[in-house]
Structure 1
Amino acid sequence: MSKETLKSIKTKNIKAAMSNFAAQNLTPLNECDFEIKETATYIKTSSDDSFRLFNENLYERFEDEASILNNRLQLKQVHTIVPKISTEVTIKLHYTLELSEYKTHPKLILHPDSHILYRSYKPSETYALLVKEFNKIKAKNNIIIGLFDESMLKTLKAFTKHLYEGKFIKKVRIPLFDGIEPEIAKAGKLILWFEQKDLLKKQKVIEVETNEILAEYKKPRYAKSGFNSLGEHINSNYSNGYNDIQTPIDEESIYIEEDEHKKLYRSRCKGFVVLNEKIFGVNNKLKMKKLSRIESSISKQEDNNIEVFVSQSDTTKDSIGEGVELKSEKIHVNGHIGANSILEALDLQIDGATHKDSMQFAKSAMINRHKGTLRCNNAKVALLEGGVVNATNVEIEACLGGTIYAQNVKIGHVKSNLKVYASESIEINLVSGEDNLFKINYKDIPILNSKVELLNEDINKLKDELEDAKRHNISKVQKIQDEIKLLKEEIVTIQNSALRAKITIHKPLKGLNSIVFTLANSQELVYKTQARKYKPFYLNLEDDKITLEPVKKSISL
């Protein structure tokens, strides 16, 4: 598909406009550039109800710092840009932006490995190119251009001379905007009331009521207002949130009450507070750093609406009793897991045994003795005692029966009556018993079946998008076709996994066990082992047949 530059675009958000241009032209963003053709400046003062276009001389209207602050000047700019795909690069700056708390005096740290072809130009031409490039950087970062930039222009002139003298060998700090720093009478302060609520009790689980104040941000008070590089007037109504909560707020569980002096975070519902680097909210799922026991008081009230359910009040520090349903970020149980219990976590560790009627769900799981049903990504089990494991990767020290469904399986010692279904590999150190099944077949693995179904659903959605793109947006056709191709290749990779798979048993077998490889067309190669040592089992694809090595058992294609 041919790549064409767009016509001019009028935008307040250059980064978004360029990302859209790159996507439409199937070109990496770092290979795209733009020119600023025109900039419209809008102002708002204390006498204005809204922003208005301003074409006068700003310096004549606001001649000094006092007039800027007294009139509560605010600026916004809309840029008309022409995006393009870079061909020849005259200037490519390597830089770091340095922004202060209020962004009144931002600076650009220019690195000496920047690409500047200054020897092909006169100093005045290089200076003009640098000003143009700096304004593009400022505009991309919503910094006002063409105004309050005397320091930038002066420094760039000095830098141009510095450049031609061959002295640009260290980083150079260049001011971008001459703002007005506010004077702080009292700094902003954040109070996490929910943490102080149970400070004396030293509880790790903090339960809150509906409409309860969780946190309070006391806004800074200014002895003197300010004006920053984003065109913002800094006064009591301004808050940059520098000391405020930086984590995204879950608006479904927390609402904010705000005035010129403070901001209150209140709970919409009853539950447990969650505050981490990803979210600040109130959840009906118990998520903790560490869990060794649950206090019975958590489950006494029926209207808690939290996903921690304890059906008996004698749950001890080192066990999860019968009938417990627990969801947490990390669960560590020192004792045994009772019947009819359900545990769900990102990281799960059970030092005792799981009951045969229990279920566990995790991203990563470590279990000492497993009799229940486990579904996870990565599983490590010391002893499998008739339990079921569904995972991507499984490592087990010893097995006394049970069933495993996974892509890759590693086992130390297998006795009898174990069934292993894998798609990529089965590796066992010792098989000392009989009546074990070691089978390669992706169709027996629920995780892979679900993945194939989801991939097919994605393909069908993309096919609909493809038909729509052919009618309305031809520029997207190739990208969608490539995505469909990748998804189809991923399905074929899963379906042909038996051709790559390997079953390895390091030590001699002691008796009769079954080795099975199932092909994508459901044909099977089955071998009953004898009491002897075998080299790894794998499939050898030939022109007219497939052979199970090393036992030379074949089927015709």
Structure 2
Amino acid sequence: MSYEIKTLETFNPFESLKYEQASTDQILDFRIIDFKLLCSNIKPAKTKTYERKDFDLFYADDFFVKNYNTMVQKFLIEIYPKTQKNCFVVKLKSNPSLTYLKVNINFLDNFKYYPNLKFDILQNIYKVMIKQKFLILRLDKNLFDKIDDFILSIQKNPSIKEIELEIAKGVDKIEHKSDEIIYHRDVNEECFDENISYDEGSYCKPIEKNELLFEYIYRILGKEGRNLRGEILHLNPIAFFDNPFIIKDESIYTEELEDRIKYFSANYGFLNKDRSGYSVTNNLKLSQVGLKTTGSIKTNTDENINLEIANFDINDDAVKSGIVNVQASDIKVNGSIGATKLYGRNISIKGLTHAKSEIFAQDIFITTHKGTLQADTVYIKNLENGIVIAKNVFVENCMGGKIEAENIYICNLLADNILYPKKNLIITNNIKFKNNIVISPLDFINNKSNSETENLTNLSLKTKSKLDNIISQMQNYYDYLIKNQIKIIKLQKTEKLNAIDMKFSNLYRDIIKKYNHLSVLYKKLIKLKYHIDAKLNFLDEMVYNVKIYIKAENIGEDNFLKFYPKTNTELELKHQINLKDYEKVLYLEKGQQASYIKSSHDYSESDIEEIKIIFEKLEKDNS
């Protein structure tokens, strides 16, 4: 009995075919007439059936992924007795997430073109998709045209046996991208590590103004996807960090970009974090500086950095001895300084400095100084065998010290001191014994001898000799140029010059160049000669401008004032300071034939007060 063709609706055409096949010996097959999509959602609860004509809605990714929890296709099929064998094989290819589908069509050797080939290709593609539980949805919009093009190709060239086509695309999921924290500077960075050099720690790397400190890169929320079986592709769970950067004040500013926030330093200083948040501070407080604790502290002394070091243990230095050194604009030390180096603009040391310490500052206060110091303005309570080279120096008690400065003010000049005043020396309370006051333009502390004067004198003579030679050459060139001026003017008006005139014209231009070159050199040498002679004149006259004010009532023995005029250390004019010099000013007077030391009661107290005022701020700030 012949099988009667049936048309029916089914969710599973292959199950329906199997059921019908059981009732007949004829080999059956089915063709897909139509299909629709049944969609349902839980929250909010809804169901809807989409006809094939509405499938274009699902090309929108969000509509395909988000609108429904489940998608099932229902097919209208026709089951019929199979009358022909397939002359091609259809295979599907997919990526692991089943969001991308390709078909490979391989034609068998017995293949011959027939008019209904396109329909059969599509039917076989649909069947394989149904069998492998893929939705016939979101098909490539050019699929039918590509099949048409392929059929035309095999009609023209029957040797073509295979084609691969893209069938459909689902929606790939986009995983969450976690937020990201980038530390360009870390507040938890170790200040000193034994594995790095002592002068490469974080205290040697202060933050520059407008330096990038850290970045917070925003999280990017992912999107769920849906594969071509209608299954939701859920996102993997991920931990987000959140922005950890709470800014304390305006010392840090931000730049907000599309994908991140950047944090920059508004100031020069060090990164700090406390309960209120992050900041860049110019205040640094430490209990000790040393090789094993901090390493060196190196900052730009032109920037405002306030460094405070406090160590009240009398048996331990606040700044340890060794290769570690300290460099900051403002340094306050409550404690002692070991055998090391300090560099600063304003320094206050309420403690003791080691004999091998070296300190360089603009303004400095020291309780007890035993080392070497170079500064502009200095206030020392106790100078004990220390060395001071400065512009202005105030010392309350001076024992065994060496001081070279323009203005020196000493309350108690005790014993074994050597003073090198360049302008004024004031001694107010006591002068004990064995003190020497040396007035000389030479720099004795730095061991400069009168070779400086000799060198300057020799340089002055050489410069004068060169100038005389240049002046002579310039005069010769000038005479030549003036003598031939009329001739060269006439030649310049001539259109064509013969060889002799051309040679003369070139020579004249060459002489002008040489004259101009010598003129430039002359100006440089004249300037150099002026500075050399001014320096020599200063060295010669300096000793006559120094004044020594003796305000001390108590004067001991073996205290000498020594003048060395004209930078000659062999010519010494010496005066032993005694009680008769009380309330006097001593200075060197230049006579017609010889110089001599003179003393006088004729001076103004305001001159002394003007010098004392220089030190008032240092004294007040450290009282």
**In which range does the TM-score fall when normalised by the shorter chain?**
0.3 to 0.5
TM-score by length of 2: 0.39
TM-score by length of 1: 0.43
